[in-house]
Structure 1
Amino acid sequence: MMLFSPSPKRRFRLQLRISERRLLLMAGDTLAVLVSVLLALYIWSVRAEEPFTLAFVLPQSFWFFVLVILWLLLASANDFYDLAVAANRLQSLARLALITGQMLLIYLIIFFFSPRDALPRLFILYYGVASFGLIALWRFLNPALFGWAASPRQVLIVGADESAALMIEAIHQYGAASYDVRGIISQSDDVGKVIAGVPVIGTGADLPNFVMRDRIAELIITTIPDMDDDIFRGVMQAYEIGVSLVTMPVLYARLTGRVPVRYIQNSWALVLPISGQSIFNPYPFLKRVMDISLSLIVLIVLLGLLPILAVLIRLDSKGGVFYSQIRTGMNGKPFRIYKFRTMRSDAEADGQARFSVKGDPRVTRMGRIMRPTRLDELPQVWNVIKGDMSIVGPRPERPEHIRRLEQQIPFYRTRLVIRPGLTGWAQVKYQYGSTDEDALVKLEYDLYYIRNQSILLDINILIRTVYKVIRMSGI
């Protein structure tokens, strides 16, 4: 006797996945940007009293590429493709205004340092007004045009363990606009139990009925250690008629940007860089080029700041201008890190290694200025040039802290598989913290970065770092 009829196979695929919804938003934004560039060029040609022909547009065609890339980078760094933001029209409008302002500021900075008449003065203003209007219109019309595909996906949680509660909390916080959790399927007979506000509605034997009744689009499989036959059979039959399957660690990482290290014992490969990559993968080379290029720029700036900072540091407190310390680098290799001194020279007179804490009394007056602005980290560009560090990566820790934390936190040593960085995903996504629980959360962000490394993610992190420095919120 068949539990499922093949006839409803297509209906399970009407709702778009999170990645597809984001791609839809990006596609609409990109089209709006391209049309905005075209409109800006048209206004430019009218004001210049030149015919708006292909001969006029082609020499300016690079603007299409440059402004699309700039838009996508700024939009990603400002979470403009977060579906919770996209679902809130007022919040979307505020983010759009912020991104437009940032883009205009970047253009003005480039314009200021460019040769006279090298860049058009008013073109970017025309573009800014047009892009703001068109993207706002697209975001307002999107729910009406694609509401059939963007409504929350009906999902079931399969498994009633602790990871189910964590998954539900993540959905409520980050994915409420994308997922409607209809209930939990349990291996044990605990129907009626409520986990994080969601009831257990049945066991594996009931799964086929609930899938059909609630038109379930996706099953979220938690980290249950041993899946019983009824659940396994129901999950596979659901898959055969088009229901999507996703594991809790994968979806949790997708929603939060963190790898749930306490729940990946059976999925350890999630925390490692993708194996089997082609030797022609350009990312390592491009990352190193970016490291060297940015470090040389910062080094030039540092040479100008060095005399001023040196005098201020010496006048503020006794001790040297620079501070060095042994940190653990890639593959556990120790190296010496360099910083401007921000603490009293006797900060660790007892020889005990300690995390710095918020409001640390050991921090000097100059330190309280340099730390939030990251000025104390500038000498580390020398570590980047030497190859000990990268611009982007997990922050390097002291060997004493590594030895202690790897005994307490699963997968902690995995953060050593890549070069440490001046800034990282954990630093831009999480507040400053010095407890072991903070170390766990930052590790989850670091492992997400390790698994998802790309030049675009690196640029995203750099843009977010600049925002944090401007706000003096510290890293």
Structure 2
Amino acid sequence: MTKRAAFAKRSFDLFGSILGLIVFSPAFAAIYLLIKHEDGGPAIFKQERIGYGGRPFTLYKFRSMEVSSEQDGHPVLCRKNDERLTRIGRFLREHHLDELPQLWNVLTGKMSFVGPRPERKFFVDQITSINANYELLYRLRPGLFSLATLYNGYTDTMDKMLERLRMDLDYLYNRTFRLDLKIIYLTAVSILSGKKF
């Protein structure tokens, strides 16, 4: 990606995240109240992920699982029909509304609208032990959207994680600002049409 394209990408991230936070502020308030009403637990979920340069950062989401979902401290991937999902959380996750707080991550520069989805160190270590090329992704800011998520869905198995890595590496070597806009468009269309991925 050229310096001009990189500048355009970051400018788009700044403008888009500010606009998104304003436009979706009513949705933020409604979702917050629904989660609090359901079980009284925290509405915002915070988790450490590995981002740009291999450095950890705090990722924000609307909480979609029970508060005690990983009480033993052992990381577990969310699976289809996961019993740990709350009623509101299942809806949020199916429609990707749980990801809205990551607009703040984009605004602060920890993430971009488009890039590889950030992962926890526990799973990064597992993936890297199989394919060390995962570390090449540290050249990119993690993304809110990615082709890997669009076509590979949520990663609930190691096979899916490795396929996601293959697609993320392809994005790394072929990324352009135009491609970013295409990914955003395709993702928006998929979400608005109700496609589950």
Global fold match (TM > 0.5):
yes
Shift of 1:320: 0.6
Q: Say if 2:157 is the partner of 1:406.
A: no
**Misfit runs of 4+, over 4 Å:** none
- Counterparts of 1:283-322 in structure 2, within 5 Å, are 283-322=5-44
Shift of 1:372: 2.1
The verdict on how the C-alpha distance between 1:474 and 1:327 changes in structure 2, with shifts beyond 3 A counting, is farther
For the Cα contact (< 8 Å) 2:6–2:177, is it kept in 1? no
Q: What is the rounded CA distance, in whole Å, between the counterparts of 2:130 and 2:66 in structure 1?
A: 30
Q: Give the structure-1-normalised TM-score.
A: 0.40
Q: What is the match of residue 433 of structure 1?
A: 155
Q: What is the rounded CA distance, in whole Å, between the counterparts of 2:195 and 2:71 in structure 1?
A: 29
For residues 287-308 of structure 1, what are the alpha-carbon distances to aligned partners after superposition, in whole Å with 9 as ceiling and x for unaligned? 0011011101110023222221
For the Cα contact (< 8 Å) 1:332–1:416, is it kept in 2? yes
Q: What is the match of residue 418 of structure 1?
A: 140
- Partner residue of 1:340 out of 62, 87, 90: 62
- Counterparts of 1:159-174 in structure 2, within 5 Å, are none
Shift of 1:468: 2.0
Q: What is the rounded CA distance, in whole Å, between the counterparts of 1:472 and 1:408 in structure 2?
A: 34
For 2:84, what is the secondary structure of its paired residue? coil
Q: What is the match of residue 54 of structure 1?
A: none
Shift of 1:318: 3.5
Amino acid at match of 2:157: T
For 2:99, what is the secondary structure of its paired residue? helix
For 1:411, what is the secondary structure of its paired residue? helix
For residues 405-454 of structure 1, what are the alpha-carbon distances to aligned partners after superposition, in whole Å with 9 as ceiling and x for unaligned? 10122412222210001011211222333111111111111011111111
For the Cα contact (< 8 Å) 1:432–1:474, is it kept in 2? no
Q: Relative contact order (C-alpha < 8 Å, sep 6+): which is higher?
A: 2
For residues 303-323 of structure 1, what are the alpha-carbon distances to aligned partners after superposition, in whole Å with 9 as ceiling and x for unaligned? 222221111111222411111
For residues 335-386 of structure 1, what are the alpha-carbon distances to aligned partners after superposition, in whole Å with 9 as ceiling and x for unaligned? 0011111000000011001111111111111111111222111111111111
Q: What is the rounded CA distance, in whole Å, between the counterparts of 1:321 and 1:356 in structure 2?
A: 18
Query: What is the CA RMSD across the aligned residues, in angstroms?
Result: 1.4
Q: What is the rounded CA distance, in whole Å, between the counterparts of 2:81 and 2:143 in structure 1?
A: 24
- Partner residue of 1:350 out of 57, 72, 86: 72
For the Cα contact (< 8 Å) 1:424–1:461, is it kept in 2? yes
Shift of 1:394: 0.3
Q: Which has the larger radius of gyration?
A: 1
Amino acid at match of 2:130: Q
Q: For this pair of structures, how many residues does the alignment match?
A: 197
- Counterparts of 1:233-272 in structure 2, within 5 Å, are none
Q: What is the rounded CA distance, in whole Å, between the counterparts of 2:140 and 2:134 in structure 1?
A: 13
- Counterparts of 1:60-459 in structure 2, within 5 Å, are 281-459=3-181
Shift of 1:474: 3.9
For the Cα contact (< 8 Å) 1:324–1:338, is it kept in 2? yes
Q: What is the rounded CA distance, in whole Å, between the counterparts of 2:196 and 2:93 in structure 1?
A: 6
Identical-pair percentage: 36
For the Cα contact (< 8 Å) 2:52–2:139, is it kept in 1? yes
Amino acid at match of 1:383: N
Q: What is the rounded CA distance, in whole Å, between the counterparts of 1:301 and 1:353 in structure 2?
A: 34
For the Cα contact (< 8 Å) 1:314–1:320, is it kept in 2? yes
Q: Give the structure-2-normalised TM-score.
A: 0.94
For residues 239-296 of structure 1, what are the alpha-carbon distances to aligned partners after superposition, in whole Å with 9 as ceiling and x for unaligned? xxxxxxxxxxxxxxxxxxxxxxxxxxxxxxxxxx7xxx6xxx3011000011011101
Amino acid at match of 1:339: K
For the Cα contact (< 8 Å) 2:95–2:196, is it kept in 1? yes
Amino acid at match of 1:327: R
For 1:327, what is the secondary structure of its paired residue? strand
